[in-house]
Amino acid sequence: MSEKPIEGEKPSILASRKVYAILIAALLISVGAIFYVWLASPIVKTESLPIVESGDMVYVTYVGYFADHPGGWIFDTNDRFVAMNESIMKSLYFQTRDPKEYTPLNFTAGTATNLLKPFVDGVVGMTVTQTKRVFIPIDQGYPIVQDYAKILPIIMTANVIEQMNVTDFENLYGDTPSVGLVERHYFWEWDTIVIGVSGDLVVVQNEPKVGQKISSFGDPGNNSRDGWYQEVVSIDPAANGGNGNIIVNNLITPQDVYQKGGADFDERKFTLVDVNETTGNFIILFNTEGYIGELAGRAIYFDVTVTRVLKS
């Protein structure tokens, strides 16, 4: 039965529509066939991709994690999404970069000397697009440098009466000393009052209160990982040859190790790396250029994804 032309429509237009329909159908069949061949082709199978060998130039994205104390905090990554995602827990001194700097890291597999050896060796045998977890034990990670470590007592003491020269006072407080001047102590945070000025000698009296909570190493009220609280335990004005004695307890436990950072009186950033309740001491490890104390002495791991390989 022949198709009846629509009134007012020329037969040539109907013929053209049929041709177009046939061409479109053929195109769809061709695309489907090509897609099927592409999926089935061994060219895209993982085993056909370049395998990283020692000496190859390799490009990777990575996410670095702490393995313990606690585990799972990210300390470094070149994955922009991970770095900018505020819902992912970061380390104390994690630094975000300019967005343009989030590019693949490239190095010579198996031989690079400026990176941790397990990381460099760990990519050998991987293929492009493969992701692998590379574990780095403490003895092959970032070492504790003793020159950057400081041992302090959990129970600290301070004098009620302090003496210093005018220059030191002005550097610490930014004011010219005068009798009766009240300042916030440069480290302990309690009030201190100038009780004497004689020539170049300045005498101040610290005025804490028993039970007073202070936070000399940071501001845990604003950020629970920034320093910790201390408590004034006792005050004996007559002790220490009349200079008095103030007892301060640092409210820290072994559970706080590697979970709290802070700054010393000279604003040097540090990480709490040990609390020993038996010896009554704790250890802080300072950051310095090219060295982050938070990384030292810890097991870590990296999730590494190979993005490109240049064969040697």
pLDDT band at 28 (very low <50, low <70, confident <90, very high): low
Evaluate if residue 27 carries a pLDDT over 60. Answer: no
pLDDT band at 45 (very low <50, low <70, confident <90, very high): very low
Residue pair 193/208 in contact by the 8 Å Cβ criterion: no
Count the residues in the chain: 312
Residue pair 83/96 in contact by the 8 Å Cβ criterion: yes
Lowest-pLDDT range, 25-39, 173-187, 209-223? 25-39
The pLDDT, as a whole number, for residue 14 is 44
The pLDDT, as a whole number, for residue 44 is 44
Residue pair 250/260 in contact by the 8 Å Cβ criterion: no
- Between residues 59 and 38, which one has the greater pLDDT? 59
CA distance 182 to 184: 7
Residue pair 40/48 in contact by the 8 Å Cβ criterion: no
Evaluate if residue 206 carries a pLDDT over 90. Answer: yes
The pLDDT, as a whole number, for residue 8 is 47
Q: Indicate the average pLDDT of the chain.
A: 89
Tens-place pLDDT, residues 266-303:
899 999 999 999 999 999 999 999 899 999 999 999 99
Q: How far is CA 46 from CA 35, 38, 308, 311, in A?
A: 18, 14, 14, 17
Q: How much is the average pLDDT of 113-117?
A: 91
What is the pTM for the complete model shown?
Answer: 0.79
